[in-house]
């Protein structure tokens, strides 16, 4: 098997240093925003977080469509999808700050409000903090599990495993169904349940 090499760009270190400086500046500004207006900080963080999360999740979905369809169109970009989906464990870590801002984001966490709102009381079996966090953990476990297996079997395919392609195809069939379910419930949990009125989810 022919081995290929990748020449690292000479300015990669400089680019990494610049990105680190930009990230540090963003972290400082986020700290200032948190100190000035905690509620607005968490709202902005949630929007930014969902935007970033959409990149690896979208990449994983397209990767599974490629494996399921078997088309040649995805071969040249499959590595990009795989690399993107492997950032999901990091995105799971970035979800942790949201767990500390639930009272700023979701009215159903306010016991005083729930005690006077019959609609929210009826939803309390589903909309409660422990179950909310358990569901989030399930979503990430499903997404990370899919991304890990697809990347692992893709590497095995490169190393001559002829059955890897079939395994990836089978996983992608059920994986797309699981993806559709988890992404829908996550959207309801993280976005729709943040409404300020008790008349909607």
Cα(201)–Cα(191) distance, rounded to whole angstroms? Answer: 10
Domain assignment of residue 108, yes or no = yes
Number of domains in the chain: 1
Domain assignment of residue 9, yes or no = no
Domain assignment of residue 92, yes or no = yes
Domain assignment of residue 143, yes or no = yes
Is the dihedral angle over the CA atoms 130, 135, 141, 144 positive or is it negative? Answer: negative
Domain assignment of residue 167, yes or no = yes
Domain assignment of residue 45, yes or no = yes
Count how many residues are written for the chain.
201
Per-residue pLDDT tens digits of the chain, which is 201 residues long = 455 566 667 777 788 888 889 989 988 988 898 888 888 999 999 999 999 999 999 999 999 999 888 777 777 888 899 999 999 999 999 999 999 999 989 999 988 888 888 888 888 889 999 999 999 999 999 999 999 999 999 888 888 878 888 899 999 999 999 999 999 999 999 998 886 544 444
Domain assignment of residue 158, yes or no = yes
Domain limits at 121? 38-194
| Contact by Cβ (8 Å): 193, 201 | yes
Cα(33)–Cα(85) distance, rounded to whole angstroms? Answer: 30
Query: Which pTM was predicted?
Result: 0.85
């Amino acid at each position: 098997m022919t081995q290929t090499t990748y020449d690292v760009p000479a300015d990669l270190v400089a680019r990494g240093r610049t990105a680190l400086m930009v990230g540090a500046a963003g972290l400082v500004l986020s700290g200032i925003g948190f100190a000035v207006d905690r509620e607005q900080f968490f709202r902005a963080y949630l929007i930014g977080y969902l935007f970033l999360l959409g990149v690896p999740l979208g990449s994983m979905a397209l990767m599974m469509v490629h494996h399921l369809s078997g088309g040649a169109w995805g071969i040249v970009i499959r590595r990009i999808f795989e690399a993107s989906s492997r950032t999901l464990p990091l995105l799971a870590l970035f979800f942790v700050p949201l767990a500390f801002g639930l009272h700023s984001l979701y009215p159903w966490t306010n016991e005083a409000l729930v005690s006077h709102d019959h609609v929210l009381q009826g939803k309390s079996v589903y909309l409660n903090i422990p179950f909310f966090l358990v569901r989030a953990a399930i979503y990430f476990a499903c997404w990370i599990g899919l991304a890990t297996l697809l990347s692992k079997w893709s590497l095995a395919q490169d190393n001559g495993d002829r059955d890897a392609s079939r395994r990836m195809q089978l996983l992608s069939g059920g994986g797309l169904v699981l993806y559709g379910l988890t992404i829908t419930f996550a959207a309801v949990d993280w976005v729709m349940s943040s409404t300020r009125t008790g008349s909607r989810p």
